[in-house]
Amino acid sequence: MKRRDFLKMSSMATLACTMNGIPVRAFGEDGPLSKTRNSNGNILVIIRLSGGNDGLNTLIPLDRYTELNAARSNVLIPQNNVLPLTGTLNSGLHPAMTAMQNLYNNGKLNIIQGVSYPNPNYSHFRASDIWFSASDSNVFVDTGWVGRFIDNQFPGAPQAYPDPNFLDPLSIEIGSSVSSMLAGAAGLNGLAISDISNFYNIVNGTVDPAPSTPAGHELTYIRFISQQTQAYTQVLSAAAAAGTNLATYPSNNKLADHLKIVAQLISGGLKTPVYVVNIGGFDTHDNQVDASDHTIGQHADLLKKLSDAIGAFQQDLEMQNLDDKVCGCTMTEFGRRIKSNASGGTDHGSAGPMFVFGTKVNPTIIGNSPVLPVNATDNDNIPMQHDFRQVYSTILSDWFGLNQPNVSSVLNGQNYSWLPIFKWSTGVEQQEDLSTLGLDQNFPNPFTEHTTIRFQSSGGAAEVLLYDEMGRMVRRLYQNEVPAGRMEFGIDRNGLRAGQYYYQLQVGSSSKLTRKMLVVD
């Protein structure tokens, strides 16, 4: 049996262990936590929409409604039922997504249009592997992007942990097993909480010991997994006892149940940097909508559960003053075709929107409504505007504070362009004095010919870059070695097209602040 195969099997019983296991101190006292880089304390919650979400019925492109009506009239959301979003007339949300509409309109939701990758795969299993591993479609990688992030930030993972200086699980997935997204070079860098009752049994100390498993030469490793799991169970129990939930979560909603657990663990002080939760059912080949009312049905039920769960989770974080260090994002293995099928559903496609939520995100839509053919065929797909690895790269740099070499290392040695997902970064790797770093809104804004930008820093090599709304660098606005204090410089339009831009201040190699700029005719 290969170790990775065994790891996948053992993860299903990860938390089936006694609360009276060996003490945490039984693990190596000389762990490598002094080398741990993840010290900004930020947390990412990944929500997987399993099955392939229909993006065109999630984020409806109102400026393409004529083409939509021609391509999918049997599933299309009526235009007057689409939920409006502040600041745009081009896009709106499915009517079941009122909680996420409120997040966007209150400045807590970022949307990225047309997310996919070159030469997309339409198999659930292979497409999921690509998203998990962050590989090209023709490259097969055993490790996952989160697993490699853990490897990068926690040298020696998973065997060197828990460590006296870091007792918490390195990542947690709520589900029957740990997905390959959490696979590192030496094993699975994550812990599975199989279901709700299992979690509360852990909290109450009523879980039975795991059965013995004959695995021959893997026995030593099995013993290690058993010891590690028991230690983590103690930590989880303590965090759950110390934590609480202040928001009211929707009933009959497993995703909400899972996010409630995540909030409770974060509230209890758990420092785990990445959580993964899942919601299935998005493979809507038939009966996607109610034939008599397209605003309800199978897909609407899923989107309502997603939206309500995220809304309650965000409210819980805010009520406990935890929102500044937590953000969440959605992912799905692929989108659906432009044209609906005769069964009232949609078939496997390519691109679709991603959502990133939290108080630190830029509340905007990155990209444009997808260009759709006037007469779509069964084979037509939504064009890609953004590579999903651009989203991963931006999360790694702007949320977790990794510098570019480490971002590239996590993403299979590749570099991807930045996206304006966050208002600013909280990078820590270069240890700049973030308390003195600031970037003001340009004035005037919007502007037609000339505007002024002010910033402050603790000194060093400063650079201000301008990006368009697709995340492409347009020009360098400022580059100089600056002393500590406030600086001011003016810029001229110099041929910039009217539209929305983002300017980003960087001091050193990891600290960044971003603001939105509008150019008008």
Highest mean pLDDT among 69-73, 419-423, 462-466: 69-73
Alpha-carbon distance 382 to 114, whole Å? Answer: 7
Q: Is the pLDDT of residue 10 over 70?
A: no
pLDDT at residue 202, as a whole number: 63
pLDDT in tens, 322-331: 999 999 999 9
Handedness of CA 116, 121, 127, 129 (dihedral sign): negative
User: Of 33-37, 128-132, 254-258, 452-456, which gets the smallest average pLDDT?
Assistant: 33-37
> Mean pLDDT over all residues of the chain?
85
Predicted TM-score of the model (pTM): 0.79
Highest mean pLDDT among 45-49, 488-492, 503-507: 45-49
Highest mean pLDDT among 25-39, 198-212, 456-470: 456-470
pLDDT at residue 213, as a whole number: 46
Q: Higher model confidence: residue 185 or residue 17?
A: 185
Q: Higher model confidence: residue 1 or residue 220?
A: 220
Residues 429 and 401: beta-carbon distance below 8 Å = yes
**What is the pLDDT averaged over residues 438-457?**
83
Whole-angstrom CA distances from 79 to 59, 102, 247, 305, 444 are: 12, 19, 32, 22, 36
Tell me the pLDDT band of 164, cut-offs 50, 70 and 90: confident
Tell me the pLDDT band of 456, cut-offs 50, 70 and 90: confident
User: Of 26-35, 76-85, 285-294, which gets the smallest average pLDDT?
Assistant: 26-35
pLDDT at residue 23, as a whole number: 26
Residue type, 442: N
**What is the pLDDT averaged over residues 25-42?**
48
Tell me the pLDDT band of 136, cut-offs 50, 70 and 90: very high
Highest mean pLDDT among 150-154, 363-367, 507-511, 513-517: 150-154
Tell me the pLDDT band of 226, cut-offs 50, 70 and 90: low
Q: Is the pLDDT of residue 284 over 80?
A: yes
Name the residue among 304, 63, 149, 448 with its Cα closest to residue 312. 304
Please name the helix (run of DSSP H) or strand (run of DSSP E) that holds residue 512, with its range, or none.
strand 511-519
pLDDT in tens, 47-86: 999 999 999 999 999 999 999 999 999 999 999 999 999 9
pLDDT in tens, 372-420: 999 999 999 999 999 999 999 999 998 998 988 999 999 999 998 888 8
Architecture of domain 3-410: 3-Layer(aba) Sandwich (3.40)
Residues 515 and 494: beta-carbon distance below 8 Å = no
Q: How many Cβ atoms from other residues are within 10 Å of residue 443's Cβ?
A: 10
Q: Is the pLDDT of residue 30 over 70?
A: no
Q: How many Cβ atoms from other residues are within 10 Å of residue 209's Cβ?
A: 12
Instruction: Specify the fold of 434-519.
Output: Immunoglobulin-like (2.60.40)
Quote the tokens at residue 509: 């190699």
Tell me the pLDDT band of 489, cut-offs 50, 70 and 90: confident
Q: Is the pLDDT of residue 88 over 80?
A: yes
Tell me the pLDDT band of 6, cut-offs 50, 70 and 90: very low
Q: Is the pLDDT of residue 429 over 50?
A: no
Please name the helix (run of DSSP H) or strand (run of DSSP E) that holds residue 490, with its range, or none.
strand 485-492
Alpha-carbon distance 341 to 97, whole Å? Answer: 24
Tell me the pLDDT band of 481, cut-offs 50, 70 and 90: confident
Alpha-carbon distance 265 to 386, whole Å? Answer: 33
Alpha-carbon distance 243 to 239, whole Å? Answer: 6
Alpha-carbon distance 470 to 482, whole Å? Answer: 29
Domain extent listing, the chain: 3-410, 434-519
Sheet with 473-482, edge to edge strand ranges:
473-482, 460-468, 499-507, 511-519
Query: Given the structure tokens 């053992």, which residue do they identify?
Result: 10
pLDDT in tens, 199-223: 766 666 655 454 454 444 444 555 4
Quote the tokens at residue 371: 């260009």
